[in-house]
């Protein structure tokens, strides 16, 4: 079976081992894909522009799952991503979309996925600092603000680009938000 007929899988690797695993898998004859982006890092004494993995901790590889042992034995590899113990292939269109974006010459960067029902914080705009639950309704992003004690909530439309998941957001300076 030719490599182009094989499914793509996400390979979970140890942190900061992406490049090493990518090179090792290529040396073993596997078709691998490690999408990268340029990141500006600031230290106290200097600024550097580094090439970083777009999906930290993961690379993509085409593989016949019956012949995956050499992948799993590669230093730095944790496992093949799947559900339970069953590896799940990635839609090849998604791989091609990522490849097209990386090769486009446009600025590409990781982005936190926002899921419906996820707790988010507004980082920009007139509602900066407000936390709520993200909801989409009729092609608009809505932030749901709840008053738990009263078991009531309101919805306000926000630009989805203004919000970040609370798991990545800095702590709020104020415990309450007053609305006039």
What total number of domains does the chain contain?
Answer: 2
| DSSP 8-state code for residue 176 | -
DSSP 8-state secondary structure symbol assigned to residue 6:
S
- Is the pLDDT score of 136 beyond 80? no
Integer Cα distance of 1 and 65 in angstroms: 12
For residue 80, give its domain range: 3-103
- Are 104 and 96 in contact by the 8 Å Cβ rule? The answer is no
pLDDT digits (tens, 9 = 90+) for 96-135: 989 998 898 888 888 666 677 778 888 887 878 888 877 7
* Residues 87 and 134 reside in one and the same domain: no
Q: Which residue has the tokens 């012949």?
A: 67
Convert the pLDDT of each residue in 69-86 to its tens digit: 999 999 999 999 998 889
CA pair distance 13, 150, nearest whole angstrom: 46
Question: Do both 60 and 146 map to the same domain?
Answer: no
pTM: 0.66
């Amino acid at each position: 079976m030719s490599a182009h007929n094989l499914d793509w899988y996400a390979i979970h690797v140890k942190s900061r081992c992406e490049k090493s695993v990518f090179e090792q898998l290529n040396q073993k004859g596997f078709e691998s894909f490690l999408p990268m982006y340029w990141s500006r890092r600031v230290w106290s004494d200097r600024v550097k522009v580094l090439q970083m993995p777009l999906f930290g901790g993961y690379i993509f590889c085409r593989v016949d799952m019956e012949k995956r042992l050499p992948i799993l034995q590669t230093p730095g590899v944790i496992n093949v991503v799947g559900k339970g113990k069953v590896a799940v292939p990635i839609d090849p269109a998604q791989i091609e979309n990522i490849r097209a974006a990386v090769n486009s010459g446009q600025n590409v960067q990781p982005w936190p996925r926002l899921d419906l029902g996820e707790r988010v914080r507004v980082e920009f705009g007139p509602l900066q600092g407000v936390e709520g639950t993200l909801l989409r309704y009729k092609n608009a992003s809505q932030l749901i603000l709840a008053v738990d004690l009263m078991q009531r909530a309101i919805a306000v439309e926000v630009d989805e680009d203004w919000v970040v998941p609370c798991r990545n957001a800095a702590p709020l300076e104020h415990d309450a938000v007053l609305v006039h």
